[in-house]
């Protein structure tokens, strides 16, 4: 019997360079970005127009992704900016050219 390996993602969004930051977790990053970009999710991200994917991490277990999310939400803003700029110094939207296949 084979076990299905799942992937979970911790991700950071913004609306502009050095703008508002949002940290979330999902099991389908492409679908989630489609939802954010098309304002299909009520709440904070829709209210502030957060749709640019700046950073993400991949996890095998949802518990690990959630633990990291909760920890990161306690971080000082500058720590989050430093993390983003280490991997994405120009604050480019990592999902800009994604093709969304929503079933």
Q: Is the pTM of this model over 0.95?
A: no
Going by C-beta distance under 8 Å and a sequence separation of 6 or more, which residues neighbour residue 37? 51, 95
Q: Do 95 and 53 contact (CB within 8 A), yes or no?
A: yes
Res. 102: pLDDT tops 80: no
CB-CB neighbours of 45 under 10 Å: 21
Tell me the average pLDDT of the chain: 92
Distance CA 32, CA 38 (A): 10
The helix (H) or strand (E) run that includes residue 82 is helix 77-87
Question: What domains can you pick out in the chain, each with its CATH number?
Answer: 8-87 (3.40.1440.10)
pLDDT tens per residue, range 37-80: 999 989 999 999 999 999 999 999 999 999 999 999 999 999 99
Confidence class for position 99, pLDDT limits 50, 70, 90: confident
Distance CA 50, CA 12 (A): 10
Confidence class for position 3, pLDDT limits 50, 70, 90: low
């Amino acid at each position: 019997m084979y076990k299905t390996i799942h992937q979970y993602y911790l991700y950071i969004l913004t609306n502009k360079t050095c703008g508002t930051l949002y940290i979330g977790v999902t099991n389908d990053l492409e679908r989630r970005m489609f939802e954010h970009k098309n304002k299909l999710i009520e709440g904070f991200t829709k209210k502030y127009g957060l749709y640019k994917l700046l950073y993400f991490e991949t996890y095998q277990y949802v518990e690990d992704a959630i633990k990291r999310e909760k920890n990161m939400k306690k971080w000082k803003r500058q720590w989050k900016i430093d993390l983003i700029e280490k991997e994405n110094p120009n604050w480019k939207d990592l999902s800009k050219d994604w093709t969304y296949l929503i079933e």
